[in-house]
Amino acid sequence: MSIFKKTAAALALLACAGLQAQTLAPAYTYSGLTWSFSTTAAGISQCSTLILDATGDVYNSDSYVVHGQLACPALGGNYASSGTAYFDSVGKFHMTTSLSVTYQMVCDNLSGATLSGSCPIYNNLGAQVGTAFISFL
């Protein structure tokens, strides 16, 4: 090993010597969270159910990553959905979720107790194209 490589390795070890190990809390996943779904947005107006899993560190954060599907039996299939959700300091629920590659549903200030309400739906250009009504089951 050349002197350069030995020096570089020694410097790398010295740089890490002051770092302390950090223990992270485990992430928890809530599976199969289900909402009835209806909307006025074209193309997904026949969809009926939103099914998501939410993953997050419940001890150190109120934020979750959500992923799942928008079920559309009348169309013979489902649309992939993903996004984020969180509870704010006054207990309101917020969720932003993609509905296929075309739409994004933004649910703000829903009741933290019912996780239900109305949410505008936007297209890829940011224009509102409808409203969704979701009710947690």
pLDDT tens digits for range 78-114: 999 999 999 999 999 999 999 999 999 999 999 999 9
Tell me the whole-structure pTM to 2 decimals.
0.80
Q: Is residue 67 part of a domain?
A: yes
Helix (H) or strand (E) run with residue 35 in it? strand 28-39
pLDDT digits (tens, 9 = 90+) for 29-42: 999 999 999 999 99
**Alpha-carbon torsion (44, 45, 51, 57), positive or negative:** positive
Please report, for the domain that includes residue 33, its CATH number.
Answer: 2.40.128
Q: Is residue 14 part of a domain?
A: no
Tally of domains within the chain:
1
Question: What is the reported pLDDT for 59?
Answer: 83
Q: Is residue 91 part of a domain?
A: yes
Q: Is residue 8 part of a domain?
A: no
Q: Is residue 5 part of a domain?
A: no
Where in the sequence is the domain holding 73, given as residue range(s)? 22-136
Q: Is residue 29 part of a domain?
A: yes
